[in-house]
Amino acid sequence: MAPEAPAAEARPVQARAEAPRPLTRFIRWDVIVTALLIVVFAGGALGTSDFATSDNLAFALDDLSEIALIALPMTLLVVAAEVDLSVASVLGLCSALFGALWDAGWAIETIVPLLLVVGAVAGLVNGLLVTRLGLPSLAVTIGTLTLYRGLAYVVLGTKAVAQFPQNYADMATKTVPGTPIPYPFALFILLAIVTAIVLHATGLGRALFAIGAQEEAAFFAGIRVKRIKLLLFVVSGIVASFAGAVYTLRYGSARADNGLGLELAVIASVLLGGVDFDGGKGTLGGVVAGVLLIGLLRNLLMLRDVATEIQSIVTGLLLIVSVLTPRIAAKVRETRRHHRANPSASS
Amino acid sequence: MSESPPILALASVSKAFGAVRALQDVSLELRGGEIHALAGENGAGKSTLVKILAGVHRPDEGGVLLDGRPHEFHGPGDAQHAGVAVIYQEPTLFPDLSVAENIFMGRQPRARFGRIDRRALRAETAKLFERLGVALDPDRPARGLSIADQQLVEIAKAISRDARVLIMDEPTAALSGNEVARLFAVARTLQEQGCALLFISHRLEEIFDLCQRVTTLRDGRYISTEELDGLTPDDLVQRMVGRELDTLYPKQETTPGETVLKVSRLTREGVFTDVSFEVRAGEIVALAGLVGAGRSEVARAIFGVDRYDAGGVEVAAAKLPAGSPTAAMSAGIALVPEDRRQQGLVMDGSIERNIGLTQLRSLRRGPIISRKVERDRAADWAIRLQLKYARLSDTVGVLSGGNQQKVVLAKWLSTDPSVLIVDEPTRGIDVGTKAEVHRLLSELAGQGLAVLMISSDLPEVLGMADRVLVMHEGRLAAEIPRAEATEETVMAAATGRTRQEAA
């Protein structure tokens, strides 16, 4: 019963004649965010003299490293209609562990792999609670957010460990020769390409969209929903732990409160990038644009000496706008279609 | 009484959505004391008509007449106020409120200080139920009520608002035989009390059983309004589809081959017990029984979406691990589930992605999914199943029920299964597509597929099956060969009146 001789794009005769694809299909949120990104960049370059320098851009991108890295697995999770709020706490826990072990004389070559294992375990705990006990990930990871942060304080208390070797600090801050791109951000670009392929061109990606849009139908189609979700949480933990190492080396300081509240910036970038919080919709390109937009905006506001309170207000508003706009746009489209259908009834 | 003036009428109503003309010049008269049927295939415009009557849509042309006078509904509230109530296929009650609270939502009788007068609430509700002749406890929570009972609650709600026109949009699709009988009794009671009823159903027997007149729509156009007396089901089908259906049950004779699916002593505590049967290649075996007899649950256990406690499943003599749809699929089982919208399809997904979802592995070229293979395969199946669509990238949500079911079938047939389990394959599907699905099932069996068909549609069971297995209260109550299967033998077993143990 395998399909014989696949008909090359043959349309059945009875296909309804319809208008060609409207241009509005390009008015997608991820495209809008990208446009907005270009506008902000151009505006910044014209209006703020220190902005478009390679030093400042390198700084802005480096400052964005952890958010950008963590946003990648977060995108996969949100597309699958799950979320991991514990990422910043995993980052903090790993930073604290980094400091404690370095203080105890361990080698960095041993510490970093161990951190990745800790991150994987932290993610596994999240994943098992969600998939085995069927708890909502929002609740589970709010719990582990507190738990992991608490563990970070157990590990390091309130002290700070500094004095990390210069060659490693360089890896976290120096740029790839000839570009304004810091090494961590270069790694992000690489991983973003991999994630984009996974999400948009592999069976796993197809499965993620199906799970996010209609989990039961995905399960009935033979997709191993639980296994996939578990995997996502583990990956999220690993990336967050790696981000913890980057953060520690970048600031040259290991503290239990490192990255406090970072999860909100990550989720803001993902939603700003057009990923539907209800799952099933989104593009990785949009998320990359969202991450960059938040990063550049923060940098611009900082350069112009805008108070941090205002900075967070701007980020918050942008997030709300990004969640609202696609919905309003859908409403408007609906109404317009309705009006075109019966102009007489457009009272 | 029979020639009373219409309470609610539509006069030459037209309605378009974009380029789609949903209704063109359609008229309808609903008289008091009459049960009027609305017949038509899916996409004929029945839902649009109901929504106009319910005040959800306003007609582009023509108008609504209330008691013979032109009347404009500015919204569902207006229509409700005018005494029009709609009972949908699946009512939406507040599960945590009591039946009585649901009925009087927002209009609770008040005692002093604005408190809700619970005693009055209960008494009023009991009075309503008495008037309808149903036995339901006003105090029980709505959660856990069967769909049939939920509909009765909705009807009671409508009556409590002094509804004079009751529109029932496919109310029987999810009901068992007894529940249908009870619903009909209530409908007749209301008819006697002078209400006008509009009844929509895909089951022709029900239309003939319950209604006096029928209005038929086809492709959004008005075809006819006539007395059902003197009309045959064939006449009605012909008006609905506009052509003679060659046959609704094109069953091919086949000689069954080897046993492909073997289910032995399958048990899930509290759900089904000791279920054993075999399905052979080329055979269509129907699993009949009342809703709630455990048929779908058996299918789900075989396919591995549910666990089971004892017994086993073999496909082509190889034991199937329990609880894994993935394993069931690689063993060659396909399940077209009961709930198309929740389980069968990703409604927001495109046609091509839905079809491809079951074969992500074979769509790969290296680790990457081949868009071309995905699209070609979907296009190929769309042609083979005569899917009506505009673009393969359209979401399946825009398709009609029948075409959605074709997408589900395509999705599963493209896995090249050796066992096909179909759960209510034609529920909510128009007559034309129904015949197509039947022809397809028959052809597939002819090519050696083993088909297990769960169906509550008795004519379908009798028309399509080589053997009929009947379940009653979680057990296999009878196995009836095609030659002996009649409505009487199947219903007798389904209601537990005979007990010839199978296997």
B268: left (phi over 0), alpha (psi -120 to 50) or beta: beta
At residue A1, the pLDDT reads 39
Q: Is the model's pLDDT at A273 over the cut of 60?
A: yes
CB B2 within 8 A of CB B34: yes
CB B31 within 8 A of CB B6: yes
- How far is A291 from chain B, CA to nearest CA, in Å? 26
Q: Is the model's pLDDT at B45 over the cut of 90?
A: no
Which residue in A16, A206, A281 is closest to B356 by CB distance? A206
CB A145 within 8 A of CB A89: yes
Q: Quick check: B390 and A210 CB within 8 A? A: no
In CATH terms, the superfamily for domain B257-332+418-503 is P-loop containing nucleotide triphosphate hydrolases (3.40.50.300)
Task: Give the model's confidence band at B115: pLDDT under 50 very low, under 70 low, under 90 confident, else very high.
Answer: confident
Q: Quick check: B360 and A206 CB within 8 A? A: yes
Fold of A54-323: ABC transporter involved in vitamin B12 uptake, BtuC (1.10.3470)
Percent of chain B with pLDDT over 70: 96
Q: Which amino acid is at A119?
A: G
Q: Is the model's pLDDT at A121 over the cut of 90?
A: yes
Contacts with B242 (C-beta within 8 Å, 6 or more apart), sequence order: B218, B223
Q: Is the model's pLDDT at B277 over the cut of 80?
A: yes
Q: Is the model's pLDDT at A29 over the cut of 60?
A: yes
The span from the CA of B176 to the CA of B290, in Å, is 6
Domain B6-93+145-241 = CATH 3.40.50.10190? no
At residue A5, the pLDDT reads 39
- How far is A298 from chain B, CA to nearest CA, in Å? 35
Which residue in A216, A281, A344 is closest to B343 by CB distance? A216
At residue A340, the pLDDT reads 56
Q: Flag the least confident range among A87-91, A115-119, B372-376.
A: B372-376
Q: Is the model's pLDDT at A322 over the cut of 50?
A: yes
Q: Do domains B6-93+145-241 and B257-332+418-503 have the same CATH topology?
A: yes
At residue B256, the pLDDT reads 86
At residue B321, the pLDDT reads 94
**Strand, coil or helix: B172:** coil
At residue A347, the pLDDT reads 35
At residue B243, the pLDDT reads 62
Contacts of B383 in chain A (CB under 8 A): 7, 10, 12
Q: Phi and psi (nearest 5°) for A18?
A: -140, 160
At residue B19, the pLDDT reads 64
Task: Give the model's confidence band at A25: pLDDT under 50 very low, under 70 low, under 90 confident, else very high.
Answer: low
* Mutate which: B348, B411, B419, B421, vs A, most A CBs within 10 A: B348
- Strands B272-280 and B259-268, how do they pair? antiparallel
Neighbouring C-alpha atoms within 13 Å toward the C-beta of B154: 26
B332: left (phi over 0), alpha (psi -120 to 50) or beta: left
The span from the CA of B376 to the CA of A3, in Å, is 9
At residue A293, the pLDDT reads 93
B450-462 per-position pLDDT tens digit:
999 999 888 889 8
pTM over 0.90: no
| Element at B132 (helix H, strand E) | helix B118-132
Q: Is the model's pLDDT at B499 over the cut of 50?
A: no
The span from the CA of A205 to the CA of B396, in Å, is 19
The span from the CA of A292 to the CA of A295, in Å, is 5
Q: Which residue has the tokens 């208390």?
A: A157
At residue B246, the pLDDT reads 54
Q: Quick check: A15 and B329 CB within 8 A? A: no
Break chain B into its structural domains and give their ranges.
Answer: 6-93+145-241, 257-332+418-503, 341-416
Contacts of B388 in chain A (CB under 8 A): 12, 14-16
Which residue in B345, B367, B369 is closest to A217 by CB distance? B345
Contacts of B344 in chain A (CB under 8 A): 217, 220
* Mutate which: A194, A220, A227, A344, vs B, most B CBs within 10 A: A220
Task: Give the model's confidence band at B501: pLDDT under 50 very low, under 70 low, under 90 confident, else very high.
Answer: very low
Q: Is the model's pLDDT at B176 over the cut of 90?
A: no
**Residue B22 touches partner A, C-beta closer than 8 Å:** no
Task: Give the model's confidence band at B417: pLDDT under 50 very low, under 70 low, under 90 confident, else very high.
Answer: very high
Break chain A into its structural domains and give their ranges.
Answer: 54-323
CB A207 within 8 A of CB A218: yes
B255-274 per-position pLDDT tens digit:
888 999 999 999 999 899 99
* ipTM computed for the complex: 0.82
Mean pLDDT of chain B: 88
More confident position, A122 or B128: A122
Interface of A with B (CB under 8 A): 1-4, 6-12, 14-16, 18-19, 197, 201-203, 205-207, 209-210, 213-214, 216-224, 280-281, 337-338, 340-342, 344-345
Contacts with B168 (C-beta within 8 Å, 6 or more apart), sequence order: B86, B87, B187, B197, B198, B199, B200
The span from the CA of A82 to the CA of A136, in Å, is 8
Chains A, B: CB pairs < 8 Å: 134
At residue A16, the pLDDT reads 39
Contacts of B384 in chain A (CB under 8 A): 3
Task: Give the model's confidence band at A11: pLDDT under 50 very low, under 70 low, under 90 confident, else very high.
Answer: very low
Contacts of A336 in chain B (CB under 8 A): none
A226-244 per-position pLDDT tens digit:
999 999 999 999 999 999 9
At residue A346, the pLDDT reads 36
Contacts of A206 in chain B (CB under 8 A): 353, 356-357, 360, 369
Burial class (CB in 10 A: 0-12, 13-18, 19+), B141: middle
Task: Give the model's confidence band at A21: pLDDT under 50 very low, under 70 low, under 90 confident, else very high.
Answer: low
B129-163 per-position pLDDT tens digit:
888 888 888 999 988 888 888 888 988 998 888 88
Mean pLDDT of B433-457: 92
More confident position, A80 or B362: A80
Find residues 30-89 of chain B whose CB sits inside 8 Å of chain A: 58, 60
Mean pLDDT of chain A: 88
At residue A327, the pLDDT reads 77
- How far is B483 from chain A, CA to nearest CA, in Å? 30
**Strand, coil or helix: A114:** helix
How far are the Cα atoms of A89, A92, A143, A232, A235 from residue A129, in angstroms, in the given order?
17, 21, 11, 13, 15
Mean pLDDT of A140-152: 97
Contacts of A339 in chain B (CB under 8 A): none
Task: Give the model's confidence band at A23: pLDDT under 50 very low, under 70 low, under 90 confident, else very high.
Answer: low
The span from the CA of A220 to the CA of A81, in Å, is 17
Contacts with B468 (C-beta within 8 Å, 6 or more apart), sequence order: B285, B286, B288, B461, B462, B478, B479, B480, B481, B482, B485, B490
Contacts with A293 (C-beta within 8 Å, 6 or more apart), sequence order: A33, A36, A37, A40, A269, A272, A318
